[in-house]
Amino acid sequence: MKAIVCVKQVPDTSGKVAVKADGTLDRASMATITNPDDLNALEAALKLKDATGCEVVVVTMGPPPAEGMLRELLARGADKAVLVSGREFGGSDTFATSQILAAAVNKIGVGPEDVVFCGRQAIDGDTAQVGPQIAEKLHLPQVTYVADIQKDGNTLTVKRMLEDGYMMVKVQTPCLLTCIKELNQPRYMSVNGIFTCYDKPMEVFDYNALKDDPLIEVDTIGLKGSPTNVFKSFTPPQKGAGTMLKGDDVAAQLAGILAKKHLI
Amino acid sequence: MDFTLSKQQQMVQKMYREFAENEVKPLAKKVDAEEYFPKETVEKMGKLGMMGIYFPTEVGGAGGDVLSYVMAVEELSKVCGTTGVIVSAHTSLCAAPIYENGTPEQKAKYLPKLCSGEWLGAFGLTEPGAGTDAQGQQTFAKQDPETGDWILNGSKIFITNAGYANVFIVIAVTDIVPDKKGRPTKQCSAFIVERTDPGFSVGKAEDKMGIRGSSTCELIFEDCRIPADRMLGVRGRGFQLAMATLDGGRIGIASQALGIAEGALEETVAYVKERKQFGRSISAFQNTQFELAEMKARVEAAKYLVYAAALKKQEAMDGKKVRYSVEAAQAKLIAARTASDVTRRCLQLFGGYGYTRDYPIERMMRDAKITEIYEGTSEVQMMVISGALLK
Amino acid sequence: MADFNEYKGVWVFCEQRQGALMPTDFELVSEARKLADELGCEVTGLLLGDNVEGIAKELGGYGADKVMVCDSPLLKDYTTDAYAKVVCDMVNEYKPEVLLIGATNIGRDLGPRCAARLHTGLTADATHLDIDTAKYIDFLKESSTIDLSKQKFDMEDRNLKMTRPAFGGHLMATIICPRFRPQMSTVRPGVMKKAPFDQAKADACQIVKPAFALTADDIKTEVLSVEKAAEKLVDLIGADVIVSVGRGISKDVNKGIELAEQLAAALGGGVVGASRAVTDAGWMSADHQVGQTGKTVHPKIYVALGISGAIQHTAGMQDSECIIAVNKNESAPIFGVADYGIVGDLFKVVPELIKQIEAAKAAQ
């Protein structure tokens, strides 16, 4: 039995975000982190491992330096890592990305008892598309926005959040779940995990490793295989500054303005 | 000397920082204000391997190295001096002497539980009439000739972690033998005492200026009976064991002092950028800039001494026959003075706000002072250093 | 590549929960109407559910020419498998040019699954849509810092230009899907303006019930129950007054929230929102969050208390009619979007403000 976790390395948009003159992101100047929701996905997998002793495999698509992130995830308790990396994969939109990741997951192999975990969405694109699209391409049932998981044999009972409540959903393995932060509290790397993470297996899947999968075609991956294109990207203008109220009676000034504008 | 951090050391540092920020910092004010011993933090640190960082996995340790341990105490102390010393006393003063001197049975019995944080460790040497002084020791251990049990009588004071520890390394006089001139001389031995041993009790906690959440109590031995196999190391060599243990302990306290100084400096840098006086940020004043610059340089200097001591201890851990007493004493002397100096000067930059408990800087100043006192005062460190110089 | 001439019409997937339409449906139908007018085609609502024909006509009142109703007990509660199958079968059969889906927790589950199956592109969480290039250029004039004099546009371009925020709102990206049909987008709830309801159009709206194949075997998940949240969730999107709190309340979280509630009440009854720092810290539940990863709001009055104004937050509130900011730090970015700013400690400013507002109201 396996838990496969799809993760992404993202620029830390909670800090300072640098934009280049041409309106694209200056990724080089920004710190990278593991996408926060993906840590919840990993934690869900590690909880499954704690309960059943299953193997946890983390997989990411990215440039070679993403190995550093994968080592950290091994230090948190994952058993094995797969880095999907290749020039041919560059420029992929969510459709093409899920095509490639689905092929990678196929190569890792999804058994009848296995679960694929993804984060709900990545903080760079906020699309929440790759999880469901991997599920579609692997013909797996999916449950998104997962806030609780109970496992009984091959049956999972899952709490799926809605804006105004939640659904309880029953699903059989193999399946794909996308996880939200309410699901769990991700564990830290452990000291021993850190000192052993470089001894754990890390495989690199390049184009040649995946090219025999029917999902991998010239027109299904990379820029060429991406149905969507960025037409324009731009920075929104800053709204002009308003009035700074000054003096000892700022509260009275503001109340006066609001009354005058009939806002109160 | 190579201070380049390995990939693993960079990773543990990142992990400690996240842990300190998310788990330790939010409790720091309560720990100080309510003399709260952060049991839940100890439990979490145990799960992460932080209660036995540099011991091998065979004895339940995390398989890390001494520098990774030093960085843990440093990062914890940046946000909470109490939490830093809990780890330091537990690791350096209890787990380390058992690892270095214990029989295979003693190691098997104590180290896995200590390294996992299930048991907390402490160390008892200081007495009302004696600190780093063998002849002043008044705690005696007498052997029962029939059973071989040891019976301890006396007391120890200022014992860090005492209120919550399960295992204590205790130094007691076992023999009085004539020295070369025929004068009676006390010889000490080390013992492992468990909290549940009959005749052992923990006295009331001290009301301290700083590290207020750290549990500092008296240990009381009233016909405390422990089995013969609890003697740690060689009979009559207990004082030497204690001194060697303190060499390691001083590296831990030096790391604590370093962390407190760094934490104060970080708080101050953030504050001076925000705080405005006379219409500009106080970071724009040259006095502020020069103060920060000098403090930063002193903190870095202390850091190199602390890390150098850690690397030297690592050599000993790796089986080399090296002593690190002088390196540890130098690190502690300078780091402790730096901590006291830097926290005091940081508070000055904070001005009136720094004197209030709304900001952590006055707590850091109070926490810093102890590092010049415990596990050998600064004066004792200077005796160690000058002793080696004038040998 | 598909023959684009076969694809006609703008479709809206109209989400219902427990047999009731979602507010987003009306926003999307209203927006679809504008796009369809530019394209010269029909707006079709696609409504899936169990016995939902009765609620379909209302969509006509916002601009739908036609609603295709797929009724089945198997469609009562949302399941990915059933809904994706019916939606994809309908699209393959009737070939719309554009398919819009509300970016709700359900729409964001359904959209990507369908796009992957249909082999087409999907834009996530669009906040602005254009067909007509001239209108798109007008939009850029107002909403971007692009120097348009240096840009070339194909004025004949009829692709749907789907604009969305990325990187926490720091960047806007306009996405197109030039080689595949339908052009799909999920659309952020609360962003598109709902058209005024027109009863005559609702009456004229045509209801069709297309044939579709769906069996229980198609559905691999089982919905055991659907629960409404026990505590009433705050309705940020519909509120006229929102008083939001940020990290500035950390000194006394409960007092800070209480002051915000009192201020909201003084301002005529409003709700309390929060920045991400506050919901991440667990001081308030996630449904209070305003911003890029929270809700987009445009109330009449928006008060930001102790919120620094990271773009993550301002992206969700900058279109409010009147923004008031209180912050200790005079260089806080929130003052850059505020209409009125007060530099000060919220714990001191807010009680005085409440007092003065009550006095001003009494004087009226």
B64·A192 Cβ contact <8 A:
yes
Cα→Cα distances B16→A155, B57, B268, Å: 38, 20, 21
Contact (CB, 8 A) for B186 and B134: yes
What's the pLDDT score for residue A22?
A: 64
pLDDT tens for each residue of B56-72: 999 999 999 999 999 99
Q: Quick one: tokens of B300?
A: 């870095």
Ranges of H-type helices in A53-190:
67-76, 94-108, 130-138
pLDDT at C190 over 90: no
Residue from C36, C184, C24 nearest C118 by CA: C184
Contact criterion met (CB below 8 Å) for A190 and B49: yes
Name the pTM for this structure: 0.88
Quick one: pLDDT at residue A239? 62
B30 and B36 Cβ atoms separated by less than 8 Å? yes
Mutate to test the interface with A, among B6, B7, B15 (most CBs of A within 10 A): B15
Residues from chain A that touch B53, judged by Cβ atoms under 8 A, are 191
Paired with B130 in beta bridges are B127
Active site residues of B: 375
Coil/strand/helix, residue C303: strand
- CATH homologous superfamily of domain B238-388? Butyryl-CoA Dehydrogenase, subunit A, domain 3 (1.20.140.10)
Q: Tell me if B65 sits within 8 A of B12, measured CB to CB.
A: no
- What was the pLDDT predicted at A243? 86
DSSP element (H, E) containing C337: helix C334-337
Residue A240 has pLDDT above 70, yes or no: no
Chains in contact with B via at least 3 Cβ–Cβ pairs below 8 Å:
A
User: Distance between CA atoms of A169 and A146, rounded to whole angstroms?
Assistant: 10
Q: Could C109 and A145 be called an inter-chain contact, meaning their C-beta atoms sit closer than 8 Å?
A: yes
* A245 contacts in chain C (CB < 8 Å): 340-342
Rounded mean pLDDT, A226-241: 83
C342/A contact by beta carbon, under 8 A: yes
Q: Residue B45: is its pLDDT beyond 60?
A: yes
> Is B80 within 8 Å of B24 (Cβ atoms)?
yes
The size of chain A, in residues, is 264
B120-237 is classed CATH 2.40.110.10: yes
Dist CA A109 CA A107 (whole Å): 5
Phi-psi region of B138 (alpha: psi -120 to 50; beta: other; left: phi over 0): alpha
A86 CA: distance to closest CA in chain C (Å): 22
DSSP A26-46: -GGGS-EEE-HHHHHHHHHHH
Q: What is the pLDDT of residue A220?
A: 93
Percent of chain C past pLDDT 90, that is, above it, reads 73
How large is the average pLDDT for residues C334-363?
91
Whether the domain at B120-237 and the domain at B238-388 fall into the same CATH topology: no
Residue for token digits 């004039």?
C141
Give CA–CA dist C337/C351, Å, rounded: 23
For B357-379, write each residue's pLDDT tens digit.
Answer: 989 999 999 999 999 999 999 99
Q: Is B50 on the interface with A (CB under 8 A)?
A: yes
C1, pLDDT greater than 60:
no
DSSP strand pairing (B216-226 vs B200-205): antiparallel
- Report residue B231's pLDDT band, with 50, 70 and 90 as the boundaries: very high
Residue B83 in contact with residue B64, Cβ under 8 Å? no
Contacts 24+ apart (CB under 8 A), B206-211: B206/B158, B207/B35, B208/B370, B209/B366, B209/B369, B209/B370, B210/B81, B210/B363, B210/B365, B210/B366, B210/B367, B210/B368, B210/B369, B210/B370, B211/B81, B211/B82, B211/B85, B211/B367, B211/B370
pLDDT tens, B166-202?
999 999 999 999 989 999 999 999 999 999 999 999 9
Query: What is B5-119's CATH number, 1.10.540.10, 3.30.365.10, 3.30.70.260, 1.10.1040.50?
Result: 1.10.540.10
Instruction: Count how many pairs of residues, chain A against chain B, have C-beta atoms within 8 Å.
Output: 52
Residues in chain B: 391
Mean pLDDT for all residues in chain B: 96
Residue ranges per domain, chain B?
A: 5-119, 120-237, 238-388
Q: Which of A241, A180, B315 is CA-nearest to residue C335?
A: A241
DSSP-derived pairing of the beta strands B184-194 and B167-178: antiparallel
Interface of B with A in 97-156 (CB under 8 A): none
Cα-based distances in Å from B66 to B78, B385, C50: 18, 22, 66
Region B340-368 average pLDDT = 95
Spatial CA neighbour of A117 closest among A52, A47, A168: A47
Helix (H) or strand (E) holding C280: helix C276-280
